[in-house]
Structure 1
């Protein structure tokens, strides 16, 4: 099997599975997301800029997410309406998505 080659400048987006806590679900539900890439310095600045921000959470997520897969596996563009519905229907998807994005960028989600 051929190993993927390292790119000095990574692709602008990447795929990730995000566990979303459900109401009373024993296991988290999985949401497939297309994230926007940021370098570590930009990501840290973005996370710091979020603290105390009064921007709507749905608009904030649009800065780091470009698409989500619906329940049939079809990718749909990210939108404030999609995130507002997600946040209305599940306990803490904003935190789940931001944490997953940060973990993917820092390598915290790599398998051992």
Structure 2
């Protein structure tokens, strides 16, 4: 999906996704995992929920800021030997929260 958004804007969108009363300045592990899965980074093979949990919990908080999220990504990329630039690109280009290629509309029956 070709949206003209930055990684920071995507962070704010995913931080607000499903959360009432938040302004998007901090993201939870649940929303981080959702974002990574939508970006096809979290695949339960190369990168697992355990991997993201370990890296996220190093921040010692239930929610993290964008700056901490960048540290989380750096830690994850080091742990799993992933290219940081590719991670950022995938996260930026994965679409809005809830956009999922698997959810294609069924053709209407006539």
TM norm. shorter chain > 0.5: no
Interval of TM-score (by shorter of Structure 1 and Structure 2): 0.3 to 0.5
What's the TM-score once normalised by structure 1's chain length? 0.34
Structure ranking higher in helix proportion: 2
